[in-house]
Structure 1
Amino acid sequence: MRFKRVLNVVDVHAEGEVGKVIVGGVGQIPGKTMFDKRVYLETKLDDIRKMVLFEPRGAVWHNANIVLPSEHPDADMGFVILETTEYPAMSGSNAMCVATVLLETGILPMQEPVTELVLEAPAGLIKVRCECSDGKVTSVRLVNQPAFCYHTDKNIEVPGMGTIRVDVVYGGMTFAMVDAADLGFSINPSEARELCEIGEKVKLAAAEQLAVEHPENPQIPGITATEFMGPVRQENGQLISRNTVVVSPGRCDRSPCGTGSSARLALLHAKKQIEVGQILVHESITGSRFTCSIERLSEVGKYPAVVPVIAGQAWLTGFYQMGMDPTDPYQQGFTVSDTWMKTV
């Protein structure tokens, strides 16, 4: 075999969202922090992302994570997130995938009934509480970095659609957030293609018309996703709501989206619709659920913020080695607009 690169990959999903975990084959990545390593991967080794996520080896609905040692004294391990068009600072579903792989494969020791970890994401330290039984991680509870609102109830002009009201919120990624009912959506799987087409238009318009800059790390990208929000109802003291996040270049997150759920908590709190400790059951377009709450209040620069807690589960689905033959004509992979909406 003459592969020029071989990656050891664990296939895994969190509540339906694929988050492959690369556990070997990448080598040493320079950088003191995971954000530094993220920048190095993006600028020097982006061929890894394209190899794993672009066709013919990947697909538009795939994400991946590279597990890396952390230099932070409080972290057990670090990871960098790879998505089809960007390297997010944080992803809740991907963090669930990483924690589950680390424990179920024995990279880190599992303690039953509960294993507590600290993972370093590019966004910062993420405290993780894993419930474990018979060698299986049955729940992953994440304490995310603070989430906050940049803009609330702003009108933007979307070509071909007119004026649309949006909120802009950071939850590890930055979202243009839209009430689905304002545009006639109920967030049903049959609406997914139209949600994606409109979501991409809204994202681009919001990014052009509403300025954002993370107050602690200006290198964190601005608005890169749209979140469609369903109505909130109460049952037994819990809030329940459906949502879908449109992930570029244009597809629906199959999970309730951890960073999107974090953003939703920040927005609900800013609008006085949720209290600290109150439960939000956040449902995806596929019907999967995350259990969410606000641990405490915080601040990020000038912005009032909340510290989100997101819980869900991930499942391993396979183990394999991905290789690249030096004569393979698709060294950088490819995208086709039938499923990718546009080439990237």
Structure 2
Amino acid sequence: MPIGRTFNVVGAHCAGEVCDVVVGGVLDVPGKTMYEKMRHLWTKADGLRNLLMNEPRGSSAMCVNLVLPPTNPEANAGFVIMEHEEYPPMSGANTIATATVLLETGMVPMQEPITNLTLDAPAGLVKVTAECESGKCKFVEFQNVPAFVFGLDIEVSVSGFDQPIKVDVAWGGMIYTLVDASSVGLDINSANGRQLVDIGERIKKAVQEQTDFVHPENPGIRGVTVLEFTGSLKDEGSYKSALNTVVVSPSRLDRSPCGTSTCARLAVLHKRGLLRENEPLHHIGIVGTKFIGHVRGTTKVGEYDAVIPSVKGSAWITAFKQVILHPTDPFPEGFRIGDKWNV
């Protein structure tokens, strides 16, 4: 009896966010760079993302990473990140999860107590340091692509608000708009999840309509695609701490503290003079998990002053599974229903 297409998937979560990793079933994708491979998937082979992430195989609260051969000889492996509405050039939680899977399954040899590896992401090369013990990646720290601020205190008009709302816009591997949650009358907690999502989507839409930021080194990366609500910054003595939550389309909250948003916030805090180089930021997400971020140095990206950010967190393997598409299956790209998917 024919089975059809099969994909070998390692289930994983990073700080609560589902970040599954496809390790078999796709030999390679056309493209000379990982960014070109990402664009090929997005524009010519998006059925794979829909199959893996839509119901009945997927869910509205998950990400998927596709491991591919690297395009850069400096990298140990390449990967493309899939979310429901886009292919992000970079994702911190997915980097941590992918590195954990590669090492704990032996696809990349693990060295205890420290393994150094390089991942080829669509945004560029990502340096990873994994703290390993007894076959487990206890912590994974990655040095991201440089992060920088497009603008601070940008006023945008948002439906439902009498006064303009001030936002910051920054690149941390994706183009973020950052909003102080208290400025729109919200606390960052699970009970306010629906309000955070609804207001966040409205603000993001307004920013998209009223601004047009373009990455100075890659014009294909254009416009805000994701929103971060920020909590107040607290001085804990030896480190700073803050709550945050990220609104991910379609209308959900990232379960992790979000790595790229942490990088964007590092850039904003450093720009405002609120965080020094090598001063830790404990960034806490909606379920109480934590990433630790640092500004490791400064550089330039085009005309923008930029920081070199690092983020540290942990991931866990949750499953080993085969995803199957039988030739007679009526849902080769799955489906979305409005009760969960905001369609």
Q: TM-score, normalised by structure 1?
A: 0.98
Partner secondary structure for residue 58 of structure 2: coil
For 2:263 and 2:69, the matched residues in 1 are separated by 26
Instruction: Report if the CA contact (8 A) 1:200-1:249 is conserved.
Output: no
1:208-219 equivalences in 2 (<5 Å): 208-219=209-220
Q: CA deviation at 1:32?
A: 1.3
The residue type equivalent to 1:323 in the other structure is I
Aligned twin of 1:19 = 19
1:194-273 equivalences in 2 (<5 Å): 194-273=195-274
Instruction: Report if the CA contact (8 A) 1:176-1:227 is conserved.
Output: yes
Partner secondary structure for residue 260 of structure 1: helix
Partner secondary structure for residue 108 of structure 2: coil
For 2:111 and 2:130, the matched residues in 1 are separated by 9
Instruction: Report if the CA contact (8 A) 1:84-1:248 is conserved.
Output: yes
Partner secondary structure for residue 191 of structure 1: helix
Give the alignment's Cα RMSD to 1 decimal.
Answer: 0.9
Q: CA deviation at 1:109?
A: 0.4
1:143-154 equivalences in 2 (<5 Å): 143-154=143-154
Q: Does 1:115 align with 2:77?
A: no
For 1:255 and 1:265, the matched residues in 2 are separated by 17
Q: Which moved more, 1:274-283 or 1:1-10?
A: 1-10
For 1:240 and 1:341, the matched residues in 2 are separated by 33
The residue type equivalent to 1:207 in the other structure is Q
For 2:2 and 2:289, the matched residues in 1 are separated by 42
For 1:326 and 1:91, the matched residues in 2 are separated by 33
Partner secondary structure for residue 223 of structure 1: coil
For 2:28 and 2:171, the matched residues in 1 are separated by 30
Aligned twin of 1:28 = 28
For 1:176 and 1:2, the matched residues in 2 are separated by 48
**CA deviation string 1:159-182 (max 9, x = no partner):** 122321111111001111100011
For 2:196 and 2:3, the matched residues in 1 are separated by 40
For 2:172 and 2:41, the matched residues in 1 are separated by 22
Q: CA deviation at 1:221?
A: 3.9
For 1:96 and 1:68, the matched residues in 2 are separated by 16
Instruction: Report if the CA contact (8 A) 2:293-2:309 is conserved.
Output: yes
1:127-206 equivalences in 2 (<5 Å): 127-162=127-162, 163-206=164-207
Aligned twin of 1:45 = 45
Aligned twin of 2:55 = 55
Partner secondary structure for residue 157 of structure 2: strand
The residue type equivalent to 2:43 in the other structure is T
The residue type equivalent to 2:301 in the other structure is V
For 1:235 and 1:261, the matched residues in 2 are separated by 18
For 1:70 and 1:61, the matched residues in 2 are separated by 28
The residue type equivalent to 1:46 in the other structure is D
Aligned twin of 2:281 = 280
The residue type equivalent to 1:303 in the other structure is Y
Percent of aligned positions that are identical:
47
The residue type equivalent to 2:65 in the other structure is N
Q: CA deviation at 1:237?
A: 2.4
Q: Which runs of 4+ in 1 moved over 2 A?
A: 1-4
For 2:71 and 2:61, the matched residues in 1 are separated by 31
Unpaired stretches in structure 2, ≥5 consecutive residues: none
**CA deviation string 1:272-331 (max 9, x = no partner):** 110111000000011000010001001110111111100000000000110111221111
Instruction: Report if the CA contact (8 A) 2:71-2:120 is conserved.
Output: no
1:36-115 equivalences in 2 (<5 Å): 36-115=36-115
**CA deviation string 1:168-211 (max 9, x = no partner):** 11100111110001111120100011100111111111011012
Partner secondary structure for residue 3 of structure 1: coil
**CA deviation string 1:36-61 (max 9, x = no partner):** 11011111210000000011110111
Partner secondary structure for residue 137 of structure 2: strand
Partner secondary structure for residue 95 of structure 1: helix
For 1:116 and 1:249, the matched residues in 2 are separated by 35
For 2:222 and 2:261, the matched residues in 1 are separated by 15
Q: How many residues align?
A: 342
For 2:170 and 2:337, the matched residues in 1 are separated by 31
For 2:271 and 2:3, the matched residues in 1 are separated by 52
The residue type equivalent to 1:122 in the other structure is P
Partner secondary structure for residue 225 of structure 2: strand
For 2:116 and 2:304, the matched residues in 1 are separated by 30
**CA deviation string 1:12-36 (max 9, x = no partner):** 0100011100001012211111101
For 2:71 and 2:27, the matched residues in 1 are separated by 15
